[in-house]
Structure 1
Amino acid sequence: MSNVTETNVQNQEHSKMNVQLNKWRKSPVFYPLIGFVVIFVAMALANDNFLTASNLSNVLRQVSIIAIIAVGMTCAILTGGIDLSVGPVMALSGTLTAGLMVAGLPPELAILAGLAVGTLFGAGNGVFVAYAKMPPIIVTLATMGIARGLALIYTGGYPVSGLPQGFSFLGRGEVLGLQIPILVMAVVYILAYVLLNKTPIGRYIYAIGGNEEAARLSGVRVARYKLLVYMLSGLTAAIAGIVLTSRLMSGQPNAGVGFELDAIAAVVLGGAAIAGGRGAIIGTLIGAMMLGVLNNGLNLMGVSPYIQNIIKGAIILLAIYIGRSRGK
């Protein structure tokens, strides 16, 4: 009798483990996490310098900029949209912040102005997408050129230098051994996680991406939340731009070229559906880390940048294929 009872208990435990495993497999971060582990282990085996503390810290610092931008991009993609203007908005916010400090404005006020400009640009995108009902890819492609043009006009095409030395702390400083850009990235992701997973706003964002018409019929003010999403995208681009400006100690009007593609890649590699409605902010962080580890490992191995682009493109295509297969 005791043997039968023990067998039943074992069967129940085995069944619970299967349920948990199946639940974990359905998570949007399951495959991205496996992909990250595979790439991390491969790079560690390929180069002895990869696992050094200084190199891993360097990877995190390099990843932080793209990862911050990818937070806003995640929100846009979750609604079924996209934001191609994040790179130029990042440059505009960074150069404006730098220029205002050089003109004598206190760093705190200059930073607030830079954040405001990024948020306003995002709001402009949101108005055209949400209220004028224009395609997001067209709207943000247009504002991409506008933001870059404004950054070049404001600076005359030259970097803005002569920033206050104390401003460098934001991009180069450390707290308890952790670099400030990494801490900023962590704070942004914690706030985004709370927003998307613990508030009604997050539920509405997922609902809009899953079925916009159904969300509208359910009483969700779709236009309002789309506007909010693009404002968040502009804000995170501005944060990244200011952190990068602090790290370089100059406002670069050509900063952020191609960053929008890296941000989209991070979101897609993180398991988000490009059509919207499915994804996780933790997955985006994993996707950004995947890109960072891949770039760093290939650089340490001396792989040509041209070949690196081919490898990254192939991995992104594979991620999209896996995502579509899971959706079906």
Structure 2
Amino acid sequence: MTNQAAKRTGPDASYDDPSFSLKRWLSSDGNLTRLFVIMVVVFVTMTVLSPRTFLTLDSFSSMAFQFPVLGILSLAMMLTMVSGGIDLSIVGIANLTSILAAMVMVRLVPEGASAGTSFMYMLLGIVCAIIAGVLCGLLNGFAVAKIGIPPILVTLGSMQLFMGLAIVITKGQAIVGLPEQFSSIGNGSHIGIPVPLIIFALCVAAVYVLLNRRPYGMKLQLLGSNPTASRYGGINNTVVLLKTYALSGLLASIAGLVMIALTNSAKADYGTSYILQAILVVVLGGVNPNGGFGKIAGVVMAVLTLQFLSSGLNALHVGNFFKDFIWGIVLILVMVINAVSPRLKWKRRAAGSSKTSS
């Protein structure tokens, strides 16, 4: 860690100590500290309530296969929220693109095709899904950046559009019989690590580099903080928004591919509950809903927290309807806490400065 990096960790950091300190890292951001505590509390609570079911190797292995889809969708949601917008169409994009991929893999492969031919069609299906995801994202970005329609209205409409297209294409039926090579992406492991978890880690690394090591990240945060100031600062807001929604569509298509690889089928209504959960993850992870700020570490911890909570509730045999109720309550509470915390900090600082001056 360089001196510059040490300066970011807070006033208590030692400039001469280059070693990593969890306490120093958490103390630099109150949201991360709060989220880390919540994650530990949820984990300990679920362990106490259901130790024989929750705290097992099989349970953690199952979680490693389950949460990457939500995690990747949350990364897509995070990018658009940092820009000051939102993308409600991520699940629609995931389903539409995965259906296109499944059709290429299943319906276009000739009968009696060799393993090599099937593999080529599998790659073609993946490429088609990714291209379609980027195009769907660009459609959203064009409506937001060029036409000027509010992002929530654009993506709400495109969500219905993409889901409607998926239903029309499949006539409401599931596409089954995906190639075995492709299904291994969702259910296989590499050196003992689940492949979906590896894909999620790669997506996290890519988004981290974009936000923290590339000019795009600075432009995105400036745009989310103050679009007018960023425009006068020489930033092309239109290009940044187009890139952001294209990346959101790309990540959504990757999530869709992982989702159908897990289930070995594709359908138009898969993962509808992921929209609320992705918003919850992003807000819980400390991303400012008004734009301008967000950290990858917070989103990752929020995904893990929700997965611990979901797996624990499953172990306690809690129904899905009650879980949706819990997600809604948690989302409201987090937004209230995020709104109240800055005001309390400001009041404490004001009180402290008044005492000092007196």
**What's the TM-score once normalised by structure 2's chain length?**
0.84
Aligned residue number for residue 24 of structure 1: 27
**Aligned mates of 1:176, 1:87 — CA distance in 2:** 30
Alignment check: 8 A CA contact 2:65 2:186 kept: no
Paired amino acid for 1:100: V
Aligned residue number for residue 148 of structure 2: 133
Aligned residue number for residue 267 of structure 1: 282
- Aligned: 1:35 with 2:38: yes
Paired amino acid for 1:140: T
- Aligned: 1:46 with 2:49: yes
Q: Secondary structure at the match of 1:80?
A: coil
CA distance 1:46–1:18, change in 2 (3 Å): farther
Aligned residue number for residue 281 of structure 1: 296
**Aligned mates of 1:236, 1:294 — CA distance in 2:** 24
Q: CA deviation at 1:132?
A: 0.8
- Aligned: 1:60 with 2:64: yes
Paired amino acid for 1:300: A
**Aligned mates of 1:192, 1:22 — CA distance in 2:** 20
Q: Where does 1:157-306 land on structure 2 (aligned, <5 Å)?
A: 157-306=172-321
Which of 42, 63, 85 is the matching residue for 1:81? 85
**Aligned mates of 1:266, 1:101 — CA distance in 2:** 32
- Aligned: 1:99 with 2:103: yes
**Aligned mates of 1:133, 1:42 — CA distance in 2:** 46
**Aligned mates of 1:221, 1:325 — CA distance in 2:** 34
Q: Where does 1:302-317 land on structure 2 (aligned, <5 Å)?
A: 302-317=317-332
Structure with greater contact order relative to length (CA < 8 Å, sep ≥ 6): 1
Structure 2 gaps, min length 5? 1-10, 16-22, 110-119, 344-358
Q: CA deviation at 1:21?
A: 5.6
- Aligned: 1:90 with 2:94: yes
Q: CA deviation at 1:17?
A: 6.1
CA distance 1:267–1:172, change in 2 (3 Å): same
**Aligned mates of 1:307, 1:171 — CA distance in 2:** 28
Deviations 1:153-192 (A, max 9, x none): 1112111122222111211111011111011001000111
Aligned residue number for residue 323 of structure 1: 338
CA distance 1:161–1:22, change in 2 (3 Å): closer
Alignment check: 8 A CA contact 1:95 1:151 kept: yes
Q: CA deviation at 1:60?
A: 2.3
**Aligned mates of 1:90, 1:237 — CA distance in 2:** 5
Alignment check: 8 A CA contact 2:88 2:156 kept: yes
Alignment check: 8 A CA contact 1:92 1:253 kept: yes
Alignment check: 8 A CA contact 1:43 1:294 kept: yes
Alignment check: 8 A CA contact 1:28 1:279 kept: no
Structure 1 gaps, min length 5? 1-14
Aligned residue number for residue 4 of structure 1: none
Paired amino acid for 2:47: A
Q: CA deviation at 1:42?
A: 0.9
**Aligned mates of 1:266, 1:198 — CA distance in 2:** 23
Alignment check: 8 A CA contact 2:178 2:264 kept: yes
Quick one: percent identity of the two aligned structures? 32
Please give the root-mean-square deviation of Cα atoms over the aligned residues, in Å. 1.9
**Aligned mates of 1:252, 1:125 — CA distance in 2:** 22
